């Protein structure tokens, strides 16, 4: 009898520590009244403007410096072999998908579209896609104390598929951040934290994949149907998923307006060029005014209301292909063209063979296009790991551009838009270990 109440008390304590029973999708939450960013336009949400780009617009201004440079990256995209050398015979323009399990399932459907094994698109034979997702791993894990495990896993995936990190040039990203949303959430603080995590991720991405030039980022899907008993529910349920798109918007906006931490060209490039991928968020079953797109509860997993159903992944993979097939930041290298006629197609339906490791000359560096108008792309056979000086001189010998960098990536681009038309000399000076300067020069023409 003496043990009766202690046992009951112990049972009550244990019961309170048991995980909540999963409830499945909350299908009655088919609308929140929130307005999708593409419908909100110049309107405001809690004092912050809608639209995907500055000014409440859903398209970037074609006159902007950011737009022109991004289009230049796309127009001048070239296939790279396993050492990162330009090679139309054994090279590839490789696109990777980064994010948790939603991206993994989406890219499982996207890769066959890229490889023309489903109808609808005719893509460049040098263009390929690879699934570099990590199930259950958000930005918090990818940039946290265990980030080495995350990145080593991705490097292993790319090598397993017969590629090398040097061949990745394009990326798609779709993330949440569990750490930032497990406690109290508030606007704009929570999406600003995720925006900062994105910036850190982009730097780490460029460290591991040095030739990444263009990154498409999408915000989350509608989170109103998610099972609120899930551990990660606080990172998904509304309005957190709605706020996630503000994180993407502000990140891209900051690069457009010249944030030095998001510099994407020049000798001191910090991150790749970034722009929007497809905008997936809808107010549940409420059709968007802009394009009529919506998601009903049946589009989401019957288990958690968070992952998507197989047919929805297929539709969303096609939505992604539509986006990059038509975007000015991708259509030049996604669509097939005579430029890619020398590309070697896939050797089989699963893997593309790894190109031979070809030796290159230590001084065989090139610039393109030549003539150029906005960006001058520089390709080096090897990265330069010591202090370098990049300069541009006009015919009279006056320096019109100068930048110092502690190291130079193998591929980078210089902004020459402000130069007057004419002939110029690009000079790259490298500080050698013995103190001497090694100088290389190339002549190029600046056009209107």
Q: What is the pLDDT of residues 82-99, one digit of tens each?
A: 888 888 888 899 999 999
- Nearest CA to 180 out of 133, 150, 215, 141 is that of 141
- Looking at the chain, which residues constitute the CATH 2.60.40.1220 domain(s)? 366-446
CA distances from 193 to 138, 251, 271, 386 (A): 13, 11, 18, 34
pLDDT of residue 435: 74
Q: Which residue has the higher pLDDT, 171 or 135?
A: 171
Q: What is the mean pLDDT of the chain?
A: 87
Listed range (30-44, 168-182, 280-294) with the worst mean pLDDT: 168-182
Q: Summarize pLDDT for 33-87 with one digit per residue, the tens.
A: 999 999 999 999 999 999 999 999 999 999 999 999 999 999 999 999 888 888 8
- Looking at the chain, which residues constitute the CATH 3.40.50.1110 domain(s)? 37-340
pLDDT of residue 22: 55
- For 37-340, CATH gives 3.40.50.1110
The predicted model scores a pTM of 0.86
Q: Which one is the CATH code of 366-446: 1.10.510.10, 3.30.1120.80, 3.30.200.20, 2.60.40.1220?
A: 2.60.40.1220
- Nearest CA to 52 out of 227, 250, 226 is that of 250
Q: Which residue has the higher pLDDT, 352 or 256?
A: 256
- Nearest CA to 110 out of 127, 131, 93 is that of 131
Q: Which residue has the higher pLDDT, 347 or 397?
A: 397
Range 205-209, long-range pairs (CB < 8 A, 24+ positions): 205/98, 205/171, 205/271, 205/272, 206/269, 206/270, 206/271, 206/272, 208/151, 208/154, 208/155, 208/165, 209/96, 209/165, 209/166, 209/168, 209/171
Q: What is the CA radius of gyration of the chain?
A: 24
pLDDT of residue 184: 67
* Burial of residue 357 (number of CB atoms within 10 Å: 0-12, 13-18, 19+): exposed
């Amino acid at each position: 009898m003496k043990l009766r109440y202690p046992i009951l008390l112990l049972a009550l304590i244990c019961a309170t520590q048991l995980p909540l029973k999963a409830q499945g999708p909350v299908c009655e939450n088919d609308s929140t009244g929130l307005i999708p960013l593409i419908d909100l336009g110049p309107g405001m949400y809690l004092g912050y403007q809608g639209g995907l780009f500055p000014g409440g617009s859903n398209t970037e201004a074609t006159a902007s410096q950011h737009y022109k440079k991004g289009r230049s990256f796309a127009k001048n995209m070239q296939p790279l072999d396993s050492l990162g050398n330009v090679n139309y015979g054994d090279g590839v323009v490789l696109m990777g998908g980064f994010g948790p399990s939603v991206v993994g399932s989406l890219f499982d459907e996207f890769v066959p579209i890229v490889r023309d094994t489903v109808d609808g698109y005719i893509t460049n034979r040098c263009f390929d896609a690879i699934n570099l997702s990590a199930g259950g791993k958000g930005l918090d894990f990818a940039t946290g104390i265990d980030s080495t495990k995350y990145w080593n896993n991705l490097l292993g995936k790319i090598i397993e598929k017969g590629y090398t990190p040097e061949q990745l040039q394009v990326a798609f990203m779709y993330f949440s951040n569990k750490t930032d949303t497990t406690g109290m959430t508030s606007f704009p603080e929570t999406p600003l934290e995720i925006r900062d995590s994105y910036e850190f991720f982009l730097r780490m991405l460029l460290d591991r994949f040095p030739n990444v030039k263009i990154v498409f980022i999408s915000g989350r899907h509608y989170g109103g149907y998610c099972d609120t008993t899930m551990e990660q529910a606080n990172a998904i349920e509304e309005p957190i998923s709605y706020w996630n798109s503000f994180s993407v918007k502000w990140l891209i906006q900051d690069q457009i307006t010249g944030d030095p931490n998001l510099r994407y060209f020049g000798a001191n490039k910090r991150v790749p060029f970034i722009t929007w991928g497809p905008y997936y968020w809808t107010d549940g079953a409420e059709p968007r005014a802009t394009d009529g797109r919506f998601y009903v509860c049946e589009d989401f997993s019957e288990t958690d209301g968070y992952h998507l159903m197989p047919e929805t992944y297929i539709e969303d993979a096609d939505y992604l292909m539509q986006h990059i097939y038509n975007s000015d930041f991708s259509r030049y290298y996604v669509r097939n063209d005579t430029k890619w006629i020398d590309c070697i197609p896939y050797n089989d339906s699963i893997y593309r063979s790894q190109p031979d490791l070809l030796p290159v000359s230590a001084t065989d560096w090139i610039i393109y296009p030549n003539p150029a108008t906005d960006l001058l792309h520089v390709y080096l056979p090897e990265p330069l790991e010591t202090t370098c000086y990049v300069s541009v001189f006009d015919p009279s010998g006056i320096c019109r551009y100068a930048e110092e960098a502690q190291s130079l990536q193998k591929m980078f681009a210089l902004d020459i838009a402000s130069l007057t038309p004419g002939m110029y000399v690009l000079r790259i000076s490298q500080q050698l270990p013995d103190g001497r300067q090694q100088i290389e020069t190339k002549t190029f023409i600046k056009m209107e």
